[in-house]
Structure 1
Amino acid sequence: MEHPLYVAFIWHMHQPDYRDPVTGLLRLPWVRLHAAKDYLHMAEVLSQYPDVHATVNFAPILVEQLMAYTSGRAEDYIMYLSRQTAWTEEERAYIRNLGFSAHRENMIRPHPPYWDLLQRHEAAPDDLDVFTDQEYRDILAWFQLAWTDPNRLQGDEALRRLVEKGRGFTIEDLAQIIDRHREMCAQVIPLYRKLADRGQIELTTSPYAHPILPLLIDTTHAQRATPGLPVPEPPFRAPEDALAHLQMAQEKHERVFGHHPAGLWPSEGAVSQEAVEQIAAAGFRWLASDEAILGRCLGRWFERDLQEAVTTPDLLYQPYIVMIDNQPGPAIIFRDHALSDRIGFTYQHIPGEQAAEDLIVRLQIIRRRLPDSRPHLVPIILDGENCWEGYEHNGDIFLHSLYRRLSESQDLRAVTVSEYLEMNPPHNALARVTTGSWINGDLTTWMGDPEHIRAWSLLRDTRAFLVDYEASHPDLPADARERAWQSIYAAEGSDWFWWYSQRNTSDQDALFDELFRNHLANVYRALDQPTPESLMEPIVARGKRLDQIRVQHRYLTPKLQADPDPTREWREALHVQAMASSGAMQQAGHGLRAMRVAYDADHVYIRLETIEPLQALRLEVRIRGKEGHEHRIVWTPGSEAALLGEQRLHTALGDRILEMAIPLSAVGVRLGDRLQVQGCAMHDDRETNRVPTHHPLELTLTPLEETPDQQAP
């Protein structure tokens, strides 16, 4: 019997808790802006294709903020600034820093007045007086208009009039944009409920504040995937908090969406056997993670052929049962990492119709290679809001083309996860789930760097203080107890630790650091106790880390092929982003997007990722060795290779990717030395941006054993 190939899209919607625990003001506007541009749009497109079913995962902390906007209780800092007639120097710096955090080509260039403001901003990035008060208001207006679904900008008469106006926006104009955004926030939850009620989507959840469950249970568990990884001493251990986040997620989901969620996307796909046991105890029937986790469970990596198709598809494209105490536990599925990343990162660089056709062809190849003896499921799981600014027309063309092709296909069927499991229960079991996440199959994004250690230690000590205080004050008022624990749960969210990672940095590092420490300080405020000095000291300073020395855990020799989707070796490399806008996947809209750096015994490898096509930029990599001499590696448009002086380096070029291999001897360093690296983009002989922004990346070329990856089974 021939079966269609079942495809399960899981769109994960998540933003961190931007609410200041003291003032209630949302320090960043990304919940509102993604609602105006993405959350509502995704549902509106899907609703036009009733035969295409999907799973949509809403993190509870995002839902809370959405509902606060809907009720009028939430105000973000951009809304606050939009009501003012003039701004302080600090406020103008904030507007300049955030007001151009939009895709340069797709969201700024199409609007000439906004583009003109960007050019002036880039020409004088440190001169706050380059703009008049009226022009600062125009930046605020355009920033919020650009982060609105382009279909709304065209179809809403009031918004279309403002786009046509272009300049000289008034406070009333800004209020009108914000009112429209609130209206769109109010439509998000009802539309998703409607799609769920008619059976087209399955709504699922994540742990309440989006924590990394294995680390909440025991931070030493990070060493399972990465032996020797630094962790706090004593460890952070709070398995009861992991269960609390799961139970709160269930309760929040049931109140908002009207039903008990069957499925869970663990934050960042992070799992462990202990976490799965907690998930089962909370009543979830299925969960999902990444193919790297399944590979480690089975003792093998999933290899791909020249077409990037998995060579053992029968193992990956099926659900499994997780055994708990020799009894069947919840079902678990594992995402196809390559297909998911194609939507998240690769397809935005090609026309939408072509991208949709490519995905359909790849799914058909998978179907032809699978046996017909039983059905199979291909899980495609990714952030549902973060990639669309890079697509033409906000992803409209790609999504419509993809959903139309799926609707017409006889060989492919898009289903919800629960639909598939009801028709095809798992046949195979996993005796134990290994520990890791969807990023490199480990937990090093949230543990191991000096900033991680300090942040987890502060969280551990604050939580211990709360537990001890509760025990010694049995008459503690319920509202004080609730406020204190709410702050602990908020501080346990994954996003703070994501930004503390030395692989991830942005111009908002200091803001995220302040929010994290404010949540912990609020525990002491709730108990009317003095705040420790340790919570007053930044974990990161603006533009500079506590410890700029970066460490690599094994030799990495990435193959230079300039693929938009980084290979495994590049994903494990040190990763620095130029600037962040709305979260882990978001970037600024000009020059360099990010830089990745790796090394082996003979070379240092550098990958520059750009927003514009390479041919629009001149790129430099500036390297200093132990003697302090600066070496400049230069690539100019039209060149086939980057040059170090007159030496041509091994180079790979893509549309927006430049990769190079630099012999250690060519820059006067050897294993054991320290190296400083900084990327720079130039446009029309003018510097566009640097990565890192303020200080070079400094790493130690630690001699390492030439052994396979410790994570590899």
Structure 2
Amino acid sequence: MKKLYLQFIWHMHQPYYKEASTGEYLLPWVFLHGIKDYLEMPRYYELYDIKGTFNFVPSLLIQLEDYKSEDVNDRLIKLIKKDVKTLEDKEIEFLVPSLFMANLKNMISSSVRYKELYDRYSGSEKSENKLFIFNSQEILDLEVHFLIAWTGAFIRSESSFIKSLIVKDMNFTEDDKRSLLKILFGKISYIFEYYKKLSDMGRIELSVTPYYHPIFPLLLDMNCAYESKKDIKLPLENLRLDEDAKWHLNEGVKEFERIFGVNPTGVWPAEGSVSDETVTIFSDKFKWCATDEDVLGNSLGIDLKRSDNRKRLYKRYIFGDEKISVFFRDKYLSDLIGFTYANMEPVEAACDFIKKLQHIYEICDFDPIVSVILDGENAWEFYKNNAFDFFSALYERLMKLDFIQTVTPKEMLKADGVKLKKVVAGSWIYGDFTTWVGHPEKNKAWEYLYEVKKDLIKLKGDDNIEEAEKFLHIAEGSDWFWWYGDDHYTVQAGTFDYLFRSNLINAYRLLNENVPGFLYEPIKKNGKSIQSISKPKNYIYPKVNGRIDSYFEYLGASRVNLKYDMSSMNVGESILTSLVWGFDERNFYFCLELDKEKVNEDDTFVELKILSPFEHVIKYYFKNGKIESSISDDLFQIVYEEVLEGSIGLNLFETKRVSISFCVVRGGAILDRAPVYNPLEIKLDSLDSKDWLV
């Protein structure tokens, strides 16, 4: 009987958050994902008769080792551990905003108390006293709720103590907080043991990424970036960092073997980044590697989005002298889990995924190998219940289907293979390297790196050179380059810039050398970002006709550039480009600019969701102008010609704080969404320059 072999590869990774000179963790994401995801995700593979692969970055593993101890040197954790009555003003200034670093819909709003405190915080006017609106008891309640919100569904459901805190909801004690922290740190200390157990049981395979998550092909040869994007602008002078690349590979494997006690059979290169030279080097150490379908399309010179080419994705490819197999990620299926299914009912999403697997099975006249590869940690807070309901529904159904078999890549090494002669250099984002090089800020970071490397080469004989080179290797990680430029946004971009430069600075300090002055100059330029935009300055009175008739029509409105990524993750296609919005005494107006060539099909529509606080939905079909709406048509207008322009009566909104989101849908699949996760939150009650936030 023909089979569809389904392999899930979950990539576990966080940047290296430790400040070079002090050893302090400046951001708490390793701890937070440790209690929410790193035990949660493998648990399904114990409960269900399925198989999967977990890929670990060694730099994450060594950070998790630090978090086994409650005395970890983490800036936020140290403040949470303090008795709230002893907090100083400057500590409260840092602590309070941090305690709202959680998804509003799924993590904050599930608690009456947490949501009440959030509303008070977000509704308070910006002033010097904004951070001091809470008393000690309220800060303590915030701390406990923050920790509970970041705790995985399994841990919450299996701990009677945590369940009692959820029921209590407020007036927590310092003893409550200490007991909760003790449970959570205990869970983190069990992570490695749990993965070893599941690996020994044969339920999961463990694979690795080079040590500090570098873009391996760019270390080997920066010029390989031209293969997938011929007009990319590279740093003026670049170095081959062959030895550095091999250090990341060899030392990464050693660290992995030390922690898990097994030799990894496969590798997921950071960001799925590969090249001919990269895969050749991997073939001496591994039996398989994986990358993205865009790389396969470039390498074969075909468009894999075309239905007649699609089935070529679902094969095992054999590279070079047949020492290594290469599997290619189904971008569409992976992105459905990463970005789309969070907004669907769990059973509906699970059934949709299986329906799409059924289609692949039917179009292939061979046993297809379907590789679903994505982040194993960053998407789940955007699902209800940390995606527990979705995964439970999906895995229960997969177990019962005879035509699907879940497998690991190691089990597919003897499957029929196709020779792959050439690997065009690229990654899992756009099939190229523009996320990490090409923008002036990204290129400057590489130039800083090259200057430091040249100095370290001159100092090769120094007793501390190996320790200094370690900090250079940390700076070679992909994450720093990700946040430079204008393609991604985070309020913590300045921290990432500082961490990148602090590692390079520390390399000089270890060698008692003068630090070059340029390393003290921030690379990241402060500028207006999508997540902090001024309100409209004036009432606007546009004519809703699908055109912008003049510059003055939206003068004083607020403009949002939707091409900025509003999260730490990257979604595939960009259709929505910008949003202009404002209001007058009676109406809320919006003007949505988009890529017209990508929406001119019969089943393509834009969906506008309004939460106020009840959900209203308007769908506009581009081809025929058909409108489906939960709103009476005398309360809104929508016209599409050059832009999608609309007005909605203000009397529809039950509050002056309104959340909206847009998505483009075709054939039931979401092609683009803005914002990617959380809706835009706007205020309709005043005209001034105070900020509103996503």
TM-score (norm: length of structure 2): 0.79
Quickly say closer, same or farther: Cα 1:218–1:574, change in 2 above 3 A.
farther
Instruction: State how far apart, in whole Å, the 2-side matches of 1:171 and 1:687 are.
Output: 43
Deviations 1:601-622 (A, max 9, x none): xx95389xx9995343899xxx
Deviations 1:114-152 (A, max 9, x none): 001110111126322222343333322221110001332
Instruction: State how far apart, in whole Å, the 1-side matches of 2:155 and 2:449 are.
Output: 43
Q: How does 1:421-460 map to 2 (within 5 A)?
A: 421-422=413-414, 424-426=415-417, 428-460=418-450
Match for residue 152 of structure 1 among 151, 155, 173: 155
User: Match of 2:588?
Assistant: none
Deviations 1:137-187 (A, max 9, x none): 332222111000133234312222332333343443333222222111112
Q: How does 1:209-608 map to 2 (within 5 A)?
A: 209-281=212-284, 283-304=285-306, 310-323=307-320, 327-371=321-365, 374-422=366-414, 424-426=415-417, 428-470=418-460, 474=461, 476-477=462-463, 480-543=464-527, 575-578=563-566, 583-584=568-569, 597=577, 604-605=593-594
Quickly say closer, same or farther: Cα 1:317–1:513, change in 2 above 3 A.
same
Q: Is 681-690 or 262-271 further displaced after alignment?
A: 681-690
Instruction: State how far apart, in whole Å, the 1-side matches of 2:390 and 2:137 are.
Output: 38
- CA offset at residue 533 of structure 1? 1.7
Q: Are 2:18 and 1:19 equivalent residues in the alignment?
A: yes
Quickly say closer, same or farther: Cα 1:237–1:125, change in 2 above 3 A.
farther
| Contact 1:618/1:683 (<8 A) preserved | no
- CA offset at residue 430 of structure 1? 1.4
User: Match of 2:610?
Assistant: 614
Q: How does 1:54-93 map to 2 (within 5 A)?
A: 54-71=52-69, 74-84=72-82, 85=84, 86-93=86-93
User: Match of 1:622?
Assistant: none
| Contact 2:40/2:153 (<8 A) preserved | no
User: Match of 1:631?
Assistant: none
**Unpaired runs of 5+ in structure 1?**
305-309, 546-559, 561-572, 587-593, 620-634, 661-678, 695-713
| Contact 2:577/2:595 (<8 A) preserved | yes
- CA offset at residue 69 of structure 1? 1.2
Instruction: State how far apart, in whole Å, the 2-side matches of 1:58 and 1:691 are.
Output: 39
Instruction: State how far apart, in whole Å, the 2-side matches of 1:320 and 1:687 are.
Output: 59
| Contact 2:209/2:268 (<8 A) preserved | yes
Quickly say closer, same or farther: Cα 1:299–1:595, change in 2 above 3 A.
closer
Instruction: State how far apart, in whole Å, the 1-side matches of 2:380 and 2:687 are.
Output: 27
Deviations 1:303-356 (A, max 9, x none): 25xxxxx44343110011112xxx334110101100000000000001111111
User: Match of 2:625?
Assistant: none
User: Match of 1:657?
Assistant: 662
| Contact 2:225/2:425 (<8 A) preserved | yes
- One-letter code aligned to 1:137: L
User: Match of 1:703?
Assistant: none
Q: Is 123-132 or 450-459 further displaced after alignment?
A: 123-132
| Contact 1:33/1:181 (<8 A) preserved | no
Instruction: State how far apart, in whole Å, the 1-side matches of 2:450 and 2:262 are.
Output: 34
Give the 3-state SS of the residue equivalent to 1:517 in structure 2.
helix
- CA offset at residue 691 of structure 1? 9.7
User: Match of 1:30?
Assistant: 29
- One-letter code aligned to 1:493: G
- CA offset at residue 481 of structure 1? 2.3
| Contact 1:11/1:55 (<8 A) preserved | yes
Instruction: State how far apart, in whole Å, the 1-side matches of 2:302 and 2:443 are.
Output: 31
Q: How does 1:157-196 map to 2 (within 5 A)?
A: 157-196=160-199
Quickly say closer, same or farther: Cα 1:16–1:365, change in 2 above 3 A.
same
Give the 3-state SS of the residue equivalent to 2:7 in structure 1.
strand
Instruction: State how far apart, in whole Å, the 1-side matches of 2:206 and 2:331 are.
Output: 22
- One-letter code aligned to 2:409: V
Deviations 1:281-302 (A, max 9, x none): 3x11111011111001111111
- CA offset at residue 681 of structure 1? 3.3
- CA offset at residue 655 of structure 1? 8.9
| Contact 1:597/1:604 (<8 A) preserved | yes
Deviations 1:67-115 (A, max 9, x none): 1212556332221111333445543333343221212111111101100
- CA offset at residue 483 of structure 1? 2.0
Instruction: State how far apart, in whole Å, the 1-side matches of 2:24 and 2:608 are.
Output: 34
User: Match of 2:622?
Assistant: none
Instruction: State how far apart, in whole Å, the 2-side matches of 1:438 and 1:688 are.
Output: 42
| Contact 2:575/2:594 (<8 A) preserved | no
- CA offset at residue 6 of structure 1? 0.5
Give the 3-state SS of the residue equivalent to 2:68 in structure 1.
helix
User: Match of 1:53?
Assistant: 51
Deviations 1:411-454 (A, max 9, x none): 000000110113x152x211110011111111101111111011
Instruction: State how far apart, in whole Å, the 1-side matches of 2:213 and 2:52 are.
Output: 21
Instruction: State how far apart, in whole Å, the 2-side matches of 1:451 and 1:442 are.
Output: 18
- CA offset at residue 680 of structure 1? 6.1
| Contact 2:56/2:207 (<8 A) preserved | yes
- One-letter code aligned to 2:135: T
Instruction: State how far apart, in whole Å, the 2-side matches of 1:198 and 1:236 are.
Output: 45
- CA offset at residue 648 of structure 1? 6.0
| Contact 2:68/2:188 (<8 A) preserved | yes
TM-score (norm: length of structure 1): 0.77
Instruction: State how far apart, in whole Å, the 2-side matches of 1:317 and 1:250 are.
Output: 28
| Contact 2:426/2:433 (<8 A) preserved | yes
Quickly say closer, same or farther: Cα 1:115–1:618, change in 2 above 3 A.
closer
| Contact 1:606/1:659 (<8 A) preserved | no
User: Match of 2:671?
Assistant: none
Give the 3-state SS of the residue equivalent to 2:515 in structure 1.
coil
Instruction: State how far apart, in whole Å, the 2-side matches of 1:275 and 1:691 are.
Output: 46
| Contact 1:113/1:166 (<8 A) preserved | yes
- CA offset at residue 500 of structure 1? 0.9
User: Match of 1:665?
Assistant: none
Deviations 1:351-376 (A, max 9, x none): 111111111111111111110xx422
- One-letter code aligned to 2:442: H
Give the 3-state SS of the residue equivalent to 2:214 in structure 1.
coil
Quickly say closer, same or farther: Cα 1:201–1:239, change in 2 above 3 A.
same
Instruction: State how far apart, in whole Å, the 1-side matches of 2:484 and 2:576 are.
Output: 17
